[in-house]
Structure 1
Amino acid sequence: MTGASTPLQNVNGSYTYGVRNYLAPALIDKLHNPSNYKAAGVVPTWQFATVDPTGGKLSFERATAPQDGWHTWSRKGKVIVTGGSAAATNRVYTVFNGQQLVAALAESGIEPKIVRVVGHIDLRWSSNNTVFKEYTGYLDQKFGGSIMIPSNTTLVGINDAQGRPARLTGTSILIGGELANGAVDAQAGYMAWVNAGKDGEDYPTWTRNIIIRNLQIDAPWDVNPEDSANAYADGMTLSRAQNIYIDHVSMSDGDTPGSLSSDTRHDGLLDIVRGSDYATVTNSYFHKHGKTTLIGNGDSGRAWSDAGRLHVTLSNNFYDRLYSRMPLNRFGQVHVFNNYIYGRTDSAVPADLKFSSGLDPRYQSNMLVQNMYFEITGLALDGFCKKGIDGGNGTAPIGFRSSGHLMLTDKGGNTTPAAWDGQCGYAVPTGANVWTPPYSYTLVTATAAKANVVANAGAGKLK
C-alpha cells in the first residue's frame, strides 16, 4: 500500500479512543445541551462469550480482498487490499470484550494485524463484561464509545456455535483520522504538503488498507446529540480513509429504534466522508434506520479534500426498510450495482420502517447505477423518480448513468426501464467526466441480483 500512517488513539493528550472518561453532559460550541441527555431506553439481550468456538483455527481471516471494486485502485494504479493478512502470529488476536479490542489495536499500531471478535462487544461494559455504565455525556460517548481502526487491519467476526455472528452494540467504528503527530490540522497540513511539491497521495493522514467482515453492528444511541434534529454518533464512519473493503456486515438500529425518542438519536449507519477514497461495501445487510449511507458530507468548503476522491463501490447489498440515503452522494465517483432495495411507503408500516428515498445524487456527484431491484410497496410508478432515485432534492450532479433495473410495486406491478426514465431527468456525463470502472466485476440481471442478495447478504453468511 502507498503512503505512511500514524495511528491516532490519543487526542491532544486529553482523550483516548475506546477509553471511558465519564464526563458529565456539557454545552460544547452551543451544541449538546445537557438538558437533552437521555440514556438508551433499551439494552439488548447480550450474547457475551468467553470461548472461541473455532479453538483459534483461522479460516477466512488471512484472505486478501477480492478485486471487484474501487478498493482495488489508487491514483498510482492497481493495489491489493491486504488488511492484516500478513500478520505475525503475535499480531493475531481473539477478543471477547471492548477493552481487549482496544488493547489489541493499541499494541499492534499500524503493523499488519488480525483481530477476531467473538461474542458481543459494547464499550459501556467493563471488567470482562461484568460492569455496565451508560455513557455519561457527549465527550464520554465520542471518545470512550468509539474504536479507532488503524491502517493494515483485518477486523472480523467469528460465528458462535449457533451460527450467530459477532455483534457490536453501543460502539462506533471509526476508520480514519490518523494525523501526523496527532496535532496537524487536516486541511492546513495537506495543503502545505502539496504546495511543497509533494505527492498528495503520500500525505500521512489517510488510514489505509482495512478489511472488515462478518460483523453485526448496532448503530449507537446518541445520549447527548448536537440538538433535537441532529445526532452525532454513526455506526461506522470512514473519514480520511483509503483502500477499505467492507464485506458481509449487518447494520441497523438494533434494539434502540428512533421511535424510543421524540428527537433524533441516531446519525448515519455507514458514512464515507472527508476525503475518503477507494472503498467498497458489498454483500451487506442494512435495516431499520433513517440515514443509511452518506458519501461526501457537505458542498461548501469540501473541494480540497473531496473533489477527485470518494471513489466508492456499493454492490450486492440488501437495503431493507430504511428511510433514506442508499446512498446520498456528493462529489463521489460511485458505482452502484446489483443491490436490492425493499421499502414500504404505505400507512400501515411503522415509522421506523418507512421508506422515503433511495439513491440521492447531489452536488458534483458522478454515478454509475446498474441492474438494481427496487421493491417498494405503496409507491406509484410515476413517483419513482422522486423516491427510488433522487429523493426530490433537485441538485444536479456532474453525471448520472442508470440502466438495467427492475421495479416491483403494488401500484403497477413489475416494470423495466422501458416503462420509466431510468435517468430520472439527470444527464449522462460527457467529456472528461465519463468514466469506466477500472476493475473487473460480475454484473447479473436485477432479478438474479435480488435472489443472490437475499440468500447471501449480511453477517453470519460469509462462506
Structure 2
Amino acid sequence: MAVLAGCTALVLTVTGTGAQAGSRDLGREVLAAHDGWASEGAGTTGGSAAHAEHVYTVTTWAEFRQALADGGDAPKIIKVKGMIDAVSEGCDAFAADGYDFQQYLADYDPQVWGNDTPLSGEQEDLRDASADNQGKAIKVSVPANTTIVGVGKNSGILGGSLQIKGVDNVILRNLTVEAPIDCFPQWDPTDDNKTGAWNSEYDGVVVYGSTHVWIDHNTFTDGRYPDSSLPSYLGKTYQQHDGLVDIVRGSNYVTVSWNSFEDHDKTMLIGNSDSAAATDTGKLKVTLHHNRFEDIVERAPRVRFGQVDSYNNHFVVTEDQSYGYTFGIGIESRLYATHNAFSLPKGVSAARTLKKWKEAPLTAENNYVNGKLTDLIAVHNAEIPEESLQSGAGWKPTLRTRVDSPRAVPWLVDHRAGAGRVC
C-alpha cells in the first residue's frame, strides 16, 4: 500500500498487463482501506484488474461510448485523452422537424397560455421529442467494474452525462467535466408560485441505485456556459443546467474526494425525493472529503435519508456570487460535518451555511469560518430561530483517512483538489 501524504491513500495494483514496476497508471489504482464509505466491505477497485484487451484510450465521444459498451461487466479501464465533446454538432442537431423556439415562446407566453395549466400542444410535443434526441446522444451508461480516468492535466468530457445506474464498483478520476447544457428546457407556467420557470435535465454524473463508487480528483464546472451567461425568456432565466453530481435512488457506499466543484447552482443531491423512504432508508452512505466548492449557490450537498460524512472540505463563497446555503438538511438525514473550512465574504453570515428542509439532527463540530472556530448550528439557531436545528447525528464515522486541521484545509485543498492534481 502506498500512502501519499496530503492525498487520498491509494493501493497500486500491478498486474501482468503491461504495467511496469515504479510506473504510475491511474487505471490500476484502487481506493484504499478506510477511505470513506466506498471502502466498506470489499471496497472499490473499479476496472483495475482489466486485461489488456479491455484497456481503451479514447479521443472522441463515439469512441468513449463504444468502449463503455464493449465487454459487458468485465473489468475495464477507459482513458480519456483530451476534452471529448458530446455535443460537438451543436444543439440544432437534436431538434425535431418542425420545432421552432420562437413559436414555442409565442404559444406559451403567460399572456397567451396563462399560469394555471401545464403545457400541451404541437410545440411542446416537438420540444419533448428534441429533448429525447439529446438525451439519447449525451447520456451514457457506465457498467460495473469500470475505471474512467483522464490522461494528463487537460482531459475530460464536455456536455455528456455519465449514468452510473444499478451497478457496483466504479471509479472516476482526473476528469474535467463540463456540465451538460440542456438544449431544450421546458417552460412550466405553474412553477415558482405560478409565475413560471424554465426546468432543465441532465447531470454531469448520476449515481443511481449503485454501490461502491469512488469519485476522485475531478473538476466539475459550468465551464463555457456559466449561469451568468444564460439569457432570459418569458421573464425568467433560461435555466439550462441541472446537477453536477447527484447520488440517488438507493445508492450506497460512495466516496467523493479531492474534487473541485466550480461555478454552479444546484450542485449535489444525496437523495432526490422525500417520498423515497422505501429505497433510500438505510442507504445513501456517502463520504465527502478534501473537496473544494467555489461559487456554488446551493446543495453542497442537500441530503435526504443518508448518513453523510463531510470533512476537510473548503467552501468558498465569493463576494458577488448568488448564495443560498451549503448543507441542506432534509428528511431523515444524518449529516456528520466536521473539520471543514468556510471562506465567506462580508455580509454573508455563517448561519446561512445550513438550511433546514425537514426535521433531522446533524453533527457540525470543529468547523472554521474565515479562520475562526464556529459553531454552525448555534449561529444558525440564533439567527434563524424559525428553522431551529437539532445537534447530534447519532452516529460517528469510522472510515476516514487522515483528518487535517481545518486551519490547513484552505491551502491544502486549494492546491491539491481537482483534475490534473493527483499526487
Structure 2-normalised TM-score? 0.78
In the alignment, what sits opposite 2:156?
Answer: 167
Confirm or deny: 8 A CA contact 1:151 1:210 kept in the other structure: yes
Instruction: Give, in whole Å, the separation in 1 of the partners of 2:205 and 2:186.
Output: 18
Q: Which amino acid aligns with 1:120?
A: M
Q: Give the alignment of 1:317-336 within 5 angstroms.
A: 317-336=291-310
Give the superposition deviation at 1:133: 6.1
In the alignment, what sits opposite 1:407?
Answer: 369
Give a deviation string over 1:375-416, Cα, whole Å, max 9, x none: 111335xx322x1122xx45211x2001111112xxxxx431
In the alignment, what sits opposite 1:261?
Answer: 231
Query: How many residues in Structure 1 have an aligned counterpart in Structure 2?
Result: 345
Confirm or deny: 8 A CA contact 1:158 1:165 kept in the other structure: yes
Give a deviation string over 1:93-127, Cα, whole Å, max 9, x none: 0001011111111112111000000011112238x
Confirm or deny: 8 A CA contact 1:400 1:423 kept in the other structure: no
Q: Give the alignment of 1:171-210 within 5 angstroms.
A: 171-176=160-165, 206-210=166-170
Give the superposition deviation at 1:169: 0.7
Give a deviation string over 1:246-270, Cα, whole Å, max 9, x none: 0001011110122322221101111
Instruction: Give, in whole Å, the separation in 1 of the partners of 2:409 and 2:244.
Output: 23
Instruction: Give, in whole Å, the separation in 1 of the partners of 2:93 and 2:177.
Output: 18
Give a deviation string over 1:124-146, Cα, whole Å, max 9, x none: 238xxxx9964332111212111
Q: Which amino acid aligns with 2:345?
A: T
Q: 1:254 to 1:418 in 2, by over 3 A?
A: closer
Which residue among 71, 74, 88 is the counterpart of 1:125?
88
Give a deviation string over 1:233-255, Cα, whole Å, max 9, x none: 11111111110000001011110
- SS of structure 2 residue aligned to 1:323: strand
Give a deviation string over 1:3-46, Cα, whole Å, max 9, x none: xxxxxxxxxxxxxxxxxxxxxxxxxxxxxxxxxxxxxxxxxxxx
Instruction: Give, in whole Å, the separation in 1 of the partners of 2:168 and 2:277.
Output: 21
Q: Which amino acid aligns with 2:205?
A: M
Note if 1:417 corresponds to 2:379: no
Instruction: Give, in whole Å, the separation in 1 of the partners of 2:339 and 2:398.
Output: 19
Note if 1:316 corresponds to 2:286: no
Give the superposition deviation at 1:420: 7.3
Q: 1:135 to 1:288 in 2, by over 3 A?
A: farther
Q: Give the alignment of 1:371-386 within 5 angstroms.
A: 371-380=339-348, 383-385=349-351
Confirm or deny: 8 A CA contact 2:259 2:418 kept in the other structure: yes
In the alignment, what sits opposite 1:388?
Answer: 353
Q: Which consecutive residues of structure 1, in runs of 5 or more, have no partner in the other structure? A: 1-56, 177-205, 409-413
Instruction: Give, in whole Å, the separation in 1 of the partners of 2:399 and 2:369.
Output: 28
Q: Which amino acid aligns with 2:133?
A: D
Q: Which amino acid aligns with 2:306?
A: G
Instruction: Give, in whole Å, the separation in 1 of the partners of 2:379 and 2:212.
Output: 30
Q: 1:85 to 1:454 in 2, by over 3 A?
A: same
Instruction: Give, in whole Å, the separation in 2 of the partners of 1:419 and 1:305.
Output: 31
Identity over aligned pairs, percent: 31
In the alignment, what sits opposite 1:146?
Answer: 139
Which residue among 384, 387, 395 is the counterpart of 1:435?
395
Q: 1:440 to 1:170 in 2, by over 3 A?
A: closer
In the alignment, what sits opposite 1:69?
Answer: 36
RMSD, aligned CA: 2.0
Give the superposition deviation at 1:437: 2.1
Q: Which amino acid aligns with 1:246?
A: I
- SS of structure 2 residue aligned to 1:61: helix
Instruction: Give, in whole Å, the separation in 2 of the partners of 1:109 and 1:442.
Output: 36
Confirm or deny: 8 A CA contact 2:167 2:209 kept in the other structure: yes
Q: Give the alignment of 1:61-100 within 5 angstroms.
A: 61-67=27-33, 68-73=35-40, 78-100=41-63
- SS of structure 2 residue aligned to 1:156: strand
Confirm or deny: 8 A CA contact 1:402 1:423 kept in the other structure: no
Which residue among 204, 220, 237 is the counterpart of 2:206?
237
Confirm or deny: 8 A CA contact 1:234 1:269 kept in the other structure: yes
Note if 1:248 corresponds to 2:248: no
Q: Which amino acid aligns with 2:134?
A: Q
Confirm or deny: 8 A CA contact 2:57 2:80 kept in the other structure: yes
Q: Which consecutive residues of structure 2, in runs of 5 or more, have no partner in the other structure? A: 1-22, 96-129, 188-196, 233-237, 382-387
In the alignment, what sits opposite 1:155?
Answer: 148
Give a deviation string over 1:335-370, Cα, whole Å, max 9, x none: 0000000003x4xx2xxx422211111111001101
- SS of structure 2 residue aligned to 1:108: coil
Confirm or deny: 8 A CA contact 1:370 1:404 kept in the other structure: yes
Structure 1-normalised TM-score? 0.71
